Structure 1
Amino acid sequence: MKEEPVRDRLLSEATRLFAERGFEGTSVQEIVVAAGVTKGAMYHYFTSKDDLLHEIYGRVLRMQMARLTRIADGPGTLAERLHAAAADVVETSTANLDDSKIFFRSMHLLAPETQKSVRAERRRYHERFRDMVAQGQLEGTFSDRVPAELVVDYFFGSVHHLGTWFHANGTLTGAQVGKHFADLLLASLGSGHTGQ
């Protein structure tokens, strides 16, 4: 445990404790004891318990944004890239399900300015994803019967709901669920593409 960087240890223990006891039911003292550090060490990396919760979700969102950017700017047809992006967000969400569940369960407890910042970060991801749909509609690759914004809101409503039913030991893996979700998205846009 001591070899793990202090910041990572704090995040790891905070995630575990928030999952077990809830955000409100976990004290800063319990987090620092579990991480084997002092409060001073914690406050060197995080300004508050709010800051820890924000970072738990923020690190997943930053990773997903970097992956989306690579996929969106990468090779392949637009349909292939949208399919890959849709499958990826599901797979990475299921791989980091505790982080997302903790965050969505506790987000309302964050300070208003922190909530605003998080919504803006998530919005940037959704907009980049939406731009791929809108581009396909403009080019005639995808049906434009439903506005791109609504298509994306519907898709991400399903993604954000994963925490209520997905289980790592269930019958489908995160990758399999991701492929099915991506197939459904492309089918709803009138594209016959399905990922291989």
Structure 2
Amino acid sequence: MKDSHVADDITRAAVELFATQGYVTTSVQQIVEAAGVTKGAMYHYFASKDDLLFGIYDELLTLQKQHLDEIVARGEASGAGVDEILRAVCVDVIETSIDHLREAAVFFRSAHLLSADRRDEVTRRRRAYHDAFAALLERGQVEGRYRTDIPVALLVAHFFSDVHYLSQWYSPTGPESRDLVAAQLTDLYLTSLHPADAGA
């Protein structure tokens, strides 16, 4: 049973080392020593240090995409409006990003060091998520709920810039709880989507 936790132990050790001393200066030997495993055990789960860095991001993105698909499917099945669905998606992205704050910080600081094929894979995976997110914005535009004077791509980037910046200022030990930050950032974002002449 212990073997089932080896990959998690290696990932946790790598995240800590990458965060404290950087990806480039962290050796495989340091990772396996910190995880309490052998190099053979590491290479059983990860082909390389590059593979390990990619895996840190892959885990988070897979989780968020799964949640997005579930939220959209559940909302459509229940007849929920696009505001309700998008709100749930935004809250989930922020909450899961905060739950994996250290991993996200490591990845965004070191993503440019990935091999070319891994960078391409990251781009493809992020685009798939962003396309699904954009589809909700486009639905809201068609329904007249969201502004159309700003390109959808910019509306998507506006939200995710806040998400990517979380690791620069948010602290789990600070005065703002994860749920409060998720709700407040989501409220600010959804308000920014309202047509400029709304209520006029």
Same structural fold, with TM-score higher than 0.5 when normalized by the shorter chain: yes
Once residues 141 and 73 of structure 1 are traced to their aligned partners in structure 2, the CA distance between those partners, rounded to angstroms, is: 20
RMSD over aligned CA atoms reads 1.6
User: Bigger shift: 137-146 or 100-109?
Assistant: 137-146
Once residues 47 and 41 of structure 1 are traced to their aligned partners in structure 2, the CA distance between those partners, rounded to angstroms, is: 11
Ranges in structure 1 where 5+ consecutive residues have no aligned partner: 192-196
Once residues 61 and 94 of structure 1 are traced to their aligned partners in structure 2, the CA distance between those partners, rounded to angstroms, is: 13
Once residues 62 and 112 of structure 1 are traced to their aligned partners in structure 2, the CA distance between those partners, rounded to angstroms, is: 20
Once residues 128 and 181 of structure 1 are traced to their aligned partners in structure 2, the CA distance between those partners, rounded to angstroms, is: 20
- Which protein has the bigger helix share? 2
Which of residues 88, 108, 127 is equivalent to 1:84?
Answer: 88
Letter in 2 for 1:189: L
Is structure 2 residue 110 aligned with structure 1 residue 116?
A: no
Report the TM-score, using the length of structure 1 for normalisation: 0.92
Report the TM-score, using the length of structure 2 for normalisation: 0.90
Which of residues 172, 176, 183 is equivalent to 1:172?
Answer: 176
Ranges in structure 2 where 5+ consecutive residues have no aligned partner: 196-200
Matches within 5 A, 1:3-22: 5-22=5-22
Matches within 5 A, 1:121-160: 121-160=125-164
Compute the displacement of 1:145 (Å): 2.1
Q: 1:95-120, CA deviations, whole angstroms, 9 ceiling, x for partnerless residues?
A: 11000000011111111111111111
- Equivalent residue number for residue 65 of structure 2: 65
- Equivalent residue number for residue 194 of structure 1: none
Letter in 1 for 2:90: A
- Equivalent residue number for residue 40 of structure 1: 40
Which consecutive segments of 4 or more residues in structure 1 shift more than 3 A? none
Matches within 5 A, 1:176-191: 176-190=180-194
Compute the displacement of 1:159 (Å): 1.0
Letter in 2 for 1:36: G
Which of residues 85, 89, 97 is equivalent to 2:101?
Answer: 97
- Relative distance call for 1:10 and 1:81 in structure 2 (3 A) is same
Larger RCO, structure (CA 8 Å, separation 6 or more): 1
Is structure 2 residue 110 aligned with structure 1 residue 106?
A: yes
Letter in 2 for 1:16: E
Compute the displacement of 1:49 (Å): 0.3
